[in-house]
Chains A and B, each alone.
Chain A
């Protein structure tokens, strides 16, 4: 079974802090994704990566950056956390782009105060 793990289930940070969310998958998947999930808005893509050190902006990249130094690990960085970044963050991976199931991590609920 594919396993996607995220570094924290719950996180509370202060406005202006730099925040790191980490995602690890154990199935040698090429592609990894970061989404945020908000009530009524569904899943919105922040960034994705199709290879080590490669990244592409999603629909809402402002205020975020990502890092993928190793194939199994994809990090989401909030350079200066703001209250409007309070959300559920979900990581996902897939073996190839397009016509394949996405495997999701358990999510990190981030609260910025």
Chain B
């Protein structure tokens, strides 16, 4: 069946460094790719998303890139801050079903 693979499962970076999380999807019909951030004890919240007709999208310190040919997309966080520490989930969606990656626990070390 369709799946989304996400790497790494944990990531530690020094404050101010960049962090990159990568996802690979299998369903060729997928055309929407969201990224969610889940802080400890809180609900997942959308931080950025990209649709298949776009290769890159930026919002301040975060950016997402999409390579449809290779079926992978990545989240880039620059100038990381302690408040970026959380679990990040990637997702993909085609016609109706949303599939999520297994999550990356990002720790930003002060």
Interfacial residues, chain A to chain B (CB-CB below 8 A)? 4, 33, 40-43, 45, 48, 50, 56, 58-59, 90, 97-102, 104-107
Are A101 and B46 closer than 8 Å at their CB atoms?
Answer: yes
The reply to whether A45 and B49 form a contact with Cβ atoms under 8 Å apart is: no
Contact B44 A97 (CB under 8 A): no
Interface contact tally, CB-CB below 8 A: 53
Residues of B close to A40: CB separation below 8 A:
9, 102
Residue of chain B at shortest CB distance from A42: B102
| CB neighbours of A99 from chain B (8 A) | 31-32, 51, 93
Tell me if B89 and A42 are in contact (CB < 8 A).
yes
The answer to whether A105 touches B43 (Cβ under 8 A) is yes
Say whether A42 contacts B103, CB under 8 Å. yes
Interface of chain A, main secondary structure: loop
Q: Does B94 contact A (CB under 8 A)?
A: yes
- 13 interchain pairs, CB-CB under 8 A: A45-B97, A48-B96, A59-B1, A97-B93, A97-B95, A97-B96, A98-B93, A98-B94, A99-B31, A100-B32, A102-B98, A104-B43, A104-B45
| Cα of A25 to Cα of B105 in the assembled complex, Å | 28
Given contacts A98-B31, A99-B31, 6 further A-B contacts (CB under 8 A): A4-B43, A42-B100, A43-B100, A99-B32, A99-B51, A106-B43
User: A104 to nearest B CB, angstroms?
Assistant: 4
Complex CA–CA separation, A98 to B98 (angstroms): 7
Q: Which of B9, B89, B97 contacts A43, CB < 8 Å?
A: B89
A-B complex: 4 closest residue pairs judged by Cβ atoms: A42-B102, A99-B32, A97-B96, A43-B100
Which of A48, A90, A100 has a CB less than 8 Å from the CB of B43?
A: A90
Contact A33 B98 (CB under 8 A): yes
Instruction: State the Cβ distance, B23 to closest chain A Cβ, in Å.
Output: 11
Contact B32 A106 (CB under 8 A): no
Among B1, B43, B46, B93, max chain A CB count under 10 A is at B43
Chain A residues near B98 (CB, 8 Å)? 33, 45, 102
B15-63 interface (Cβ within 8 A of A)? 31-32, 34, 36, 42-46, 49, 51
